Structure 1
Amino acid sequence: MGRTTLVYVCFNALKKGWKEGCRKIIGLDGCFLKGICKGELLCVVGRDANNGIYPIAWAVVCVENKENWRWFLDLLIDDLGLNLGYGYSVISDQHKGLIEAVKELLPYVEHSQCAKHISQKLRKRYSGAQYESIFWKACKATKEVDFKVAMKELELLDPSAHQYLMDKDPKTWSRAYFQPGRCCDAVENGMSESFNVVIVDARKKPIITMLEELRMYMMERVFKKKCKGLG
């Protein structure tokens, strides 16, 4: 499917703020437009020094696929100065097209999976609180030995569940394998989901109206944060 894009937005104040004061991790996500005009909104959200949500850029595309993610990432890399991704981390729900685009444009970035997304899939396959409890124990382990202890517990409980999680590549979802220096131990892409919830009403409107509401929201947000910082 060919690339059909409409608009990309990244305000100078937002990219400058991210470069100067945010953690070296970004969350990538796509969400459907809910109005008459169909399509998807691709968003990138960072984390500030207080671990709070920090929207960076967004784009309207007709469909979420590799070509559109590649177009979006190409512009984002230029704006944020990510180069090939060395020293930075990306977290997402691992959409196939996004995975391929990240591998091509950011070969040295650490690409983590959203643990919540994995947990939801695990719950569908294996019912029972014990499965989720062990998963989160392995997910949040900060040392490899603690991760292995948790996974051994799961293997004794259910070998197939153990294999299912191992096939998900633990290096992409367990803290025990995260790169040092990323200044963030997040295992979920909650920031992107929170941003999508905030703009859900705007996503129901015509594209130009939606973009204008996003612009106003961002301007007011930056102003309020600045006043709070000075106050």
Structure 2
Amino acid sequence: MKLREIQRRLASEMHMNVNMIRCRKAKKMVKDKLAGNFIDGFAMLWDYADELILKNPGSTIKMTVNRITPESPSHFKRFYVCFKVLKRGWKKGCKPILGLDGCFLKGPLMSEMLFAIRRDGNNQMHVLSNLSGWKKANAYEFSFWKIVKFTTEREWERNKEELYNIDEGVTNELFFKNLKVWTNTFRGLHSMSDIVDNNLCKAFNSNIMESRFKSIIITMLEEIIVKMMTRIMDKGK
């Protein structure tokens, strides 16, 4: 909020005439307090991750931090969550369609949230995971996306050996899946879904709009979890 707006609202709502210097000092005090809570929130993330794993066995919870040197303080990089119960539900009941998107967080966080969305048999959306968590290795990822995008069987046969050379076990598991689902080469020319735009992801974006403005990261994550749990329960009735 700009200083002029603070001054105007104080005058109209509280009938107080406050000069710009006092408004600036008050704004700085609030920002400093928020920044302190903001830093404390990140400091508690390790405990938060441990608690999530304790209460949700089998879930995947990962946090990555950066350090300039081994002795320097850690700086938050990313936080990844995928609950076991949702993994099981998606495998059994979701359509083989993924929506990938991201949104920018508001307030002091000034970061980005990445997510993957799937639809179940009732056309309800579920958060799948963070895209960065799918990477096994840069070389394998590069070869994988090449073979996904090929449109002819000749190209596909010639390049699938690259995947076997990098990781035979993972490649065997990959090729065991239905090729029509994940490769352009064997996919038909007809439409696979009536979802022709990114409304799937935008619907999720709108559901977490208020949570994105939270200045405390744990509060934001908990609100998103509760919103998604409530939505799944309501839509399942």
The alignment's TM-score, normalised by the length of structure 2, stands at 0.45
Higher share in helix: 2
Give the greater-gyration-radius structure (CA).
2
Q: Which has the higher contact order (CA 8 A, sep 6+)?
A: 1
The alignment's TM-score, normalised by the length of structure 1, stands at 0.46
